[in-house]
Structure 1
């Protein structure tokens, strides 16, 4: 007898070797029909026999390939069978009338038995149980219709036993190859999904891009992903495989979140369907709620996968199927692995979003700070102008005594210092404003250095400094804003002069290096500690060296230099040894 039930889509198994074994039985042992089946797991968790190879009758093979019968029915039927090695022979005489009527799903061949005591009867059953090395039943070899019309004799049984051993080996090898192939396919699906998702930073884009691969890789009808909004920054949304948001009942969304947390704690992916046992992470009522919802949208089963990273559950993935709820253990394990990978991707995407938000906030804060500084500086500049005017009148007065004159001079010095702070604040606001564009021109650095040193000549002479310059014979021009570059040079050279003790040296060098103009300002001054160098270009930073803080300064000079350099796509470097001096090197794009 040959098996027959309602057809289901068979797994993609390599039937070549199994077909050869079946044909060997029909051609060598002397039977007209030979059928090989493999054990599969049914949606309800029971085991079935799926026909994967058939030799003998082409018309019968086209009908039964891929069909399944309950394994329990066969095992029940052969309990009273005779044991012939791996084969079980059940003569028709042992069948009850009910067995004959039901035939346990097997097709009874239409032929007349010969007139002999050992004649083969249409209801006779001869089937080999094929086990693996661990004794697990992996398939069957069923044969029918002997050429001579007789039940097999001793010699035929020995030959059949050899083919049963070969069939068992081939079935085990084929199933292992099938499982390995499925593992490779799902692993490749996981790699493709994670690789594609990792290339994106936006969370909604991550989820949209990966779902097409999930549907294809798991051969599901569709999918959706729910992310949790614990920290107020997650999407809290449900994304469908077509990119649209899924409208799930609030009770189902809450249920999915609770189930995901349980599943993540247990590290399991579960199948939910009306014909499946209740998963441990769900109650019976919860499963009934989910199955009821699936019925309303025409889905027969779903694979529920938690998403997370570390101990944190970040969401859940749902894969759906119609027509069959046969999710394999490989499907569940591969989906759980993807749940880990996608969890990390989601966590990275959220981290990126948070960083992006922080950058936006910091940029807004920096813009506000610049606007505030600019506003305050302008508001201070007008009163300072008035104060300077009245101080000049007082300085020219002949009615003031010596003490009053000293007071006026002190106020003048304070006003000048405050004026320098206001000027630096205004310039800091200007060079820090991204909307304030540079109109680049060619600026001869050698000329600028000469003009700056002329302005500082009195100070240089007073401190008896040895100032040396190494300037090119031909003009070397930087490309940039002339006023800003002039201020850059002035700040660096004036700092070198200010912080170099009496009688020591300052050196200024201008050169060209490829596409850049290089300005180098060196001094034999106080030097800068390594700790101070880390904060040297920060606004309002003053050195921790008492000798440096005793000299007047706003703490904005080097911060302005840094911003000007950055605005001109240049670079600045400092080398300094405490007590021996410093060297500042600036590289700016060359003009022309």
Structure 2
């Protein structure tokens, strides 16, 4: 009798254990599925609702709240996309509205400039109008390029680029201007190829911005050195001058939008204040880096780093 009772108790306990085990296993499996679904939502891999059958009331309530949040998130994303599209159209319209009258001004000024009867002071004024209109057009282009970069709407096409060849070409492009300004030009560029995967147009713009920066702000030193070298898994371009430089407390601001040095108040040195900002954004878009070190009248060096192509 006692043995039978003990056997019955053991069987009941075993059944209870199995029930508890399968319930625990089912809950664990459900929690794993819930965790996976939440991870997908957080990583923007899924916008689907979480569908999970469970007898647990607390878990069901949690799922209702999560799915409600997911609906709100999806609605917010749709609204954000609509706002982004609206902003792009607005920027395109503003760009067109600003450029159209300037293009007309340039057209008429060119016609007047080529008129035989216009000479002397009148011709000089026409040339000033033409130059100022071109400067404004350039600033507009720079501004809208920056807007595109910051919104992720500036397509870059990566290809194999030889930094050595590219830097030689840019030095040649600016050589006459640098010589006319009295610069000593030192190219420190290896004969061998230094290859990276990058957008060649973006790299040309980066180099142009850095060289123009030397001409604009480093003119007192009359010195420009352009170097290309490799270290470990990276390739580097360095643009160095020996001009007035950038004092230490302003070095961390140099890449900020619309930041200009005191010299920019002089018309000779005026810039948009966006060149270095665009330079930094372009480099970051290619997963590169840019650093600055400066000791006034000794060296001011911008170093661009890009991953070496193996």
| TM-score normalized by the length of structure 2 | 0.70
- Are residue 408 (structure 1) and residue 116 (structure 2) matched? no
Pair 1:546-2:259 in alignment: no
| In 2: Cα distance, 1:64 partner to 1:430 partner | 75
Task: Say if 2:113 is the partner of 1:395.
Answer: yes
Cα distance between partner residues in 2 of 1:446 and 1:562: 21
Distance 2:243 2:92 in 1: 33
Query: Aligned partners of 1:518, 1:526: CA distance in 2, in Å?
Result: 24
**1:489: Cα distance to partner?**
1.1
How many residue pairs get aligned? The number is 286
Deviation of the 1:580 alpha carbon: 5.3
Alignment of structure 1 residues 146-545 onto 2, 5 Å: 200=38, 222-224=56-58, 239-240=60-61, 245=64, 361=80, 371-400=89-118, 402-425=120-143, 427-428=145-146, 431=149, 434=152, 437-530=155-248, 532-539=250-257, 541-543=258-260, 545=261
Bigger RCO (CA 8 Å, 6+ sep): 2
Measured after TM superposition, the shift of residue 531 of structure 1 is 5.1
Q: Which has the higher strand share?
A: 1
Q: Deviations over 1:312-356 (max 9, x none)?
A: xxx9xxxxxxxxxxxxxxxxxxxxxxxxxxxxxx9xxx8xx99xx
Q: Secondary structure at the match of 2:160?
A: strand
Cα distance between partner residues in 2 of 1:553 and 1:369 = 26
How far did 1:433 drift? 6.3
Which SS does the other structure have where 2:219 is aligned?
coil
Task: Sort the Cα spacing of 1:529 and 1:422 in 2 relative to 1 into closer, same or farther, 3 A.
Answer: same
- Supply the distance in 2 between the matched residues of 1:415 and 1:487 (Cα, whole angstroms): 21
RMSD: 4.7
Distance apart, 1:60 and its partner CA: 7.0
Match of 1:17 in 2: none
Quickly say closer, same or farther: Cα 1:210–1:513, change in 2 above 3 A: farther
Q: Measured at CA, do residues 390 and 464 of structure 1 come closer, stay the same or move farther in structure 2, by a change above 3 Å?
A: same
Q: Unaligned 5+ residue runs, structure 2?
A: 11-26
| Aligned residue number for residue 13 of structure 2 | none
Per the TM alignment, residue 581 of structure 1 is displaced from its structure 2 partner at its CA by 4.7
8 Å CA contact 1:576–1:582 kept in 2: the answer is yes
CA 1:590–1:373 in structure 2 vs 1: closer, same or farther (change >3 Å)?
farther
CA-CA distance at 1:479 after TM superposition: 2.2
Shift of 1:490: 0.9
Structure 1 distance, partners of 2:192, 2:146, is: 32
Counterparts of 2:53 and 2:304, CA distance in 1: 51
- TM-score, normalization: structure 1? 0.39
In the alignment, structure 1 segments of 5+ residues that lack a partner are 1-55, 66-188, 213-220, 226-238, 246-314, 316-345
Distance 1:390 1:455 in 2: 30
Larger Rg: 1
How far did residue 223 of structure 1 move?
2.4
Q: CA deviation at 1:418?
A: 1.1
Q: Distance in 2 between matches of 1:553 and 1:383?
A: 22
Distance 1:64 1:501, change over 3 A: closer
